[in-house]
Structure 1
Amino acid sequence: MSTLTTPSKSQMLLFQAWRATALQIMPYMASTLFALRPVNTQAVDTFAVDDGLRVYINFDKCEGLGAQFCAEGLLHECSHILAEHSMLAEVAGVTDEERRMWNIAGDMAINDDLRDAGCAALAAHGVFAAQISQPDYQTPLTYMEVLRRKAASQPKRPQSGAGKPQQGQGQSGQGQPTDGNGQPMKGCGSGSGSVKGGFELGDDDMQGKAPAASTAEKTMVRISTAASVRQHQEQHGIGSVPGGIAQIVDDILAPSVTPWERVLASYIRRAVAFKLGQHDTTYARRHRRRMNETLRNRQGRVIGRVIAPGYIKPVPSVHFYRDTSGSVNDHDLALATNEVLAIAKKLGIRGDDLIVSDIDTEVHQSKKFAGLDSITEIQGRGGTEMGEAIVHASNLKNKPSVIVIATDGETYWPTERPSVPVVVLLVNLRGEYWKENIPEWAHVVEVKSND
């Protein structure tokens, strides 16, 4: 694997020149461009980005490709970041085997906008929707489904292609991560939701020289970029920004029509009491290093040894119960399902740590969250008894950190406080009586469809 190094002074001057050219093409991308952490490596063909805003650059190769080519490469990676393609891949349930295919879908979704903004090199060599007989300006999810159908109809899937321009190729090729043969990766990296290159930094940040951006920083970068896009539109007109980017910005800056989302997230975080990097001690797991200290009585006789506790890292777990009784309509169920996606994103959990159950008078099914497709099927549609959700969760061998119950509220509840915190998400409550009927030990968050 090629060595990762901090760019030299001359390489940083090149990077700054490419960034300046990129700003001439898309000045509103400044916040994202300046947030990138450049890392020099020959493990990538040209550019790749990880989920910590670190951009991996093959300076030896890129230097000869010119400022325009490299500026467009940076803008391509910034577009993946702005659109949150890495997060969207998780929500869409993209498997490890589909990562390269997802890279193509994401590239097609952003390359038309980059072309419209003036990226000439990308327009000549990048992948576009027309290559799979699809129209421009669709979502990566749309292109992904087409690519999946095409792959399923072929006996052997061809090598997929990355969407940023590749010198000397009519269509850029998506290669394997750097392997034993020393071939550089031609994909966009994990920051696009593609294959994670073996060269990508983890906790090792080159002695503090390439730290990953925090979740809060990435959020602020997206908001700042969106604000710059909006300002650019106000000064130069709506058509001055490609439509796809304008739509992403609208989603970022749109005022929350459901403030209950923030309230619910606050309750869940409070109940889980979870912090990244937090560690607790436990005597259920002994420290892996045996301690030599012994306990002796006053006569010097050994009476025991000191046992050091082991360490555990708390992981939040949420059990989400959807009220699927007959009184809950499809729209209200959709609101509840959207909250599952929001919880998965905000807490970074899925699988065993985010279980979704359908319940009317009994629990019908429990599924591990693995993207939207894993929770689209609904079971139930009978009467309503949400107290059974609490009984069900309390009897589980591995109890969750918090129980979330999405319901219209037309139910009765147990009077005894459960051992696990409960958040009741009231969807379109039809009477104050039902709200007053909820025990005081439950956190209540109300949702109305006209919010």
Structure 2
Amino acid sequence: MTADPEGPAGREGEVLARFAAARLWAAHRAPYLASAVFALNPVLIEAALDDTTGAPLPDPEFRAFPADIRWNVHLETGTALATPVPEIGWWLLHHVGHLVRRHASRSPVRPEDGGGTHAAGLAGDERAHRWNQAADAEINDDLEADDLPGPDGVISPKALGLPANRMAEEYVPMLDVLADAMGRGGKALADAIDCGSAADGRPRTYEDSGGGGGLSELDRELLERSIAVGIQDRISARSEVPSGWQRWAGERLAPTVNWRARLGALIRRGLSTVAGNTDFSHRRPSRRAGAYTDIVPPALVSPVPDTVLVIDTSGSVTNAVLDRLLAEVTAIITGVAGPNRRLRALCCDMHPHPVQTVRRAEDIRLVGGGGTDMRAGIEAAAGLRPRPDLVVVLTDGQTPWPERRPRPHVVVCLIGDDGHAPDWAAIARIPEEGPT
């Protein structure tokens, strides 16, 4: 090791210069992602120093220069000074993939499940590590298709013999099978590399050093649309763009969404664990129970999915709009769950109102008109007995939401274009104006 005569200020300047060079390299190699690369915000993390020379020591836990959901890239000084510029540039393109494809919000591992560790990919939940690898696979096959192979130790679908152009959700079970097979042979699937909360949504302790910088949600929305438009323009000009990015841009700019089909699919998914299944249950004892003395056998039952509607009646959505949408939403629920489904409705403004049990949408009495707090409505719905299988929330999204995912599956019907819903919910946007 050589001594470091420049001191912390000189090292900081050199790291930022290398970051700027890596950003230029990345923008040149993948021009369709240039605007995203230049939106990344560098955050420096001071390195540990050699006791003898005072030179910064690379930290392998930061070899990926992890990114957070605010588009901050965390540059550990020793690692940044020891890593070639093209490799830093490759990681910048890699993290743009995590951020733009919203892997944090798609992650099945929630923030409350763990995190806040120095490097959750190494010391955290194995599920988070597997999701990170699957998300890497979704990104890296497109980088490889653009002649940008990754550094040693990263996940490569091609090298592992996995199909290309799959989503992270599809790669998870494939990687589980491979990891199990390789583990029996004494080998690891791939290096444990942590890409930060941009990959799994779990905050890291070092992210506090960002000082609250980065992009807002509105900035991210505008940037994503700009990237998608640029990709579509390149496709029209017959310039090459990897197929995964072509698919993403097409989905991002889709002009219309069949919200009825999407809502039906979300409700069907939420009820899939109970609808149409036949199972044994002790809730209804078998008719042959009298033949036993100490054992009460269960009966065979076909459960009817139990659905609760939570309706935002705060006044920000008119009753006329709610009446129309309730008729359509309940028709979709009936089509999925069947005519014998149980349907309970719960109006909520700042507080939940008494539960109504109905068969038709027109039987629901819309009561309320104060402020808006869907946390109270969802909590009341989840606490009902019998516990619902599905909670469908009809709201414009101008409300606080529970921080934690409730036990029932939740589908949020967002009325209009301005509202928001939590990452843990399934979301369907539905138009406020007229049938579409």
Q: TM-score, normalised by structure 2?
A: 0.55
2:44 to 40, 43, 48: 40
**1:12-40 alpha-carbon deviations (Å, 9 max, x no partner):** 22111111111111012122111111012
Q: Which residue in 2 is equivalent to 1:168? A: none
For residue 246 of structure 1, report the CA deviation from its aligned partner: 0.9
Q: Which residue in 1 is equivalent to 2:265? A: 334
Q: Which residue in 2 is equivalent to 1:134? A: 162
**Cα distance 1:46–1:146, how it changes in 2: closer, same or farther (>3 A)?**
closer
Matched residue type, 1:137: N
Instruction: Measure the CA separation in 1 of the matches of 2:434 and 2:24.
Output: 46
Matched, 1:382 2:389: no
Q: Which residue in 1 is equivalent to 2:22? A: 18
Asked whether the equivalents of residues 51 and 191 of structure 1 are also in contact (C-alpha less than 8 Å), the reply is yes
**Cα distance 1:35–1:335, how it changes in 2: closer, same or farther (>3 A)?**
same
Asked whether the equivalents of residues 102 and 194 of structure 1 are also in contact (C-alpha less than 8 Å), the reply is no
1:54 to 53, 58, 72: 72
Q: Which residue in 1 is equivalent to 2:245? A: 245
For residue 131 of structure 1, report the CA deviation from its aligned partner: 5.4
Asked whether the equivalents of residues 18 and 68 of structure 1 are also in contact (C-alpha less than 8 Å), the reply is yes
Instruction: Measure the CA separation in 2 of the matches of 1:235 and 1:219.
Output: 25
Matched residue type, 1:23: A
For residue 6 of structure 1, report the CA deviation from its aligned partner: 12
Matched residue type, 2:169: L
Q: Which residue in 1 is equivalent to 2:175? A: 147
Matches within 5 A, 1:313-352: 333-334=264-265, 336=267
Instruction: Measure the CA separation in 2 of the matches of 1:400 and 1:149.
Output: 46
**Cα distance 1:24–1:130, how it changes in 2: closer, same or farther (>3 A)?**
closer
Instruction: Measure the CA separation in 2 of the matches of 1:92 and 1:195.
Output: 7
Instruction: Measure the CA separation in 2 of the matches of 1:150 and 1:62.
Output: 32
**Cα distance 1:7–1:211, how it changes in 2: closer, same or farther (>3 A)?**
farther
**Cα distance 1:145–1:366, how it changes in 2: closer, same or farther (>3 A)?**
farther
Instruction: Measure the CA separation in 1 of the matches of 2:185 and 2:369.
Output: 51
- The alignment covers a number of residue pairs equal to 294
For residue 417 of structure 1, report the CA deviation from its aligned partner: 2.7
Matched residue type, 1:333: G
Instruction: Measure the CA separation in 1 of the matches of 2:342 and 2:153.
Output: 59
Q: Which residue in 2 is equivalent to 1:223? A: 225
Q: TM-score, normalised by structure 1?
A: 0.53
**Cα distance 1:217–1:414, how it changes in 2: closer, same or farther (>3 A)?**
same
Asked whether the equivalents of residues 101 and 160 of structure 1 are also in contact (C-alpha less than 8 Å), the reply is no
Instruction: Measure the CA separation in 2 of the matches of 1:28 and 1:412.
Output: 51
Matched residue type, 1:249: A
**Cα distance 1:157–1:109, how it changes in 2: closer, same or farther (>3 A)?**
farther
**1:112-163 alpha-carbon deviations (Å, 9 max, x no partner):** 111111214x1765312245542122110011122345567899999977xx
**1:329-368 alpha-carbon deviations (Å, 9 max, x no partner):** x98632656999xxxxxxxxxxxxxxxxxxxxx9825699
**Cα distance 1:212–1:23, how it changes in 2: closer, same or farther (>3 A)?**
closer
1:193 to 175, 189, 200: 200
Asked whether the equivalents of residues 53 and 212 of structure 1 are also in contact (C-alpha less than 8 Å), the reply is yes
**Residue segments in structure 2 that go unaligned for 5+ positions in a row:** 1-7, 48-58, 115-124, 272-303, 311-332, 373-392, 396-410, 414-429
Q: Give the alignment's Cα RMSD to 1 decimal.
A: 4.8
Asked whether the equivalents of residues 110 and 202 of structure 2 are also in contact (C-alpha less than 8 Å), the reply is no
Instruction: Measure the CA separation in 2 of the matches of 1:105 and 1:195.
Output: 16
Moved more, 144-153 or 59-68: 144-153
Asked whether the equivalents of residues 385 and 411 of structure 1 are also in contact (C-alpha less than 8 Å), the reply is no
Instruction: Measure the CA separation in 1 of the matches of 2:71 and 2:10.
Output: 15
For residue 225 of structure 1, report the CA deviation from its aligned partner: 1.4
Matched residue type, 1:334: A
Matched, 1:87 2:105: yes
For residue 227 of structure 1, report the CA deviation from its aligned partner: 1.6
Matched, 1:103 2:132: yes
Instruction: Measure the CA separation in 1 of the matches of 2:35 and 2:16.
Output: 18
Matched residue type, 1:79: G
Asked whether the equivalents of residues 363 and 389 of structure 1 are also in contact (C-alpha less than 8 Å), the reply is no
Instruction: Measure the CA separation in 2 of the matches of 1:229 and 1:7.
Output: 37
For residue 10 of structure 1, report the CA deviation from its aligned partner: 2.8
Instruction: Measure the CA separation in 2 of the matches of 1:157 and 1:86.
Output: 32
Instruction: Measure the CA separation in 2 of the matches of 1:60 and 1:215.
Output: 32
Matched, 1:118 2:74: no
**1:155-184 alpha-carbon deviations (Å, 9 max, x no partner):** 9999977xxxxxxxxx5x21xxxxxxxxxx
Asked whether the equivalents of residues 21 and 71 of structure 1 are also in contact (C-alpha less than 8 Å), the reply is yes
Matched residue type, 2:70: G
Matched, 1:364 2:306: yes
Residue 247 of structure 1 aligns to a residue whose secondary structure is helix
**Cα distance 1:45–1:188, how it changes in 2: closer, same or farther (>3 A)?**
same
Residue 417 of structure 1 aligns to a residue whose secondary structure is coil
Instruction: Measure the CA separation in 1 of the matches of 2:130 and 2:112.
Output: 9
**Cα distance 1:6–1:250, how it changes in 2: closer, same or farther (>3 A)?**
farther
Matched, 1:63 2:81: yes
**Residue segments in structure 1 that go unaligned for 5+ positions in a row:** 162-170, 175-185, 262-329, 341-361, 369-375, 428-442
Residue 345 of structure 2 aligns to a residue whose secondary structure is helix
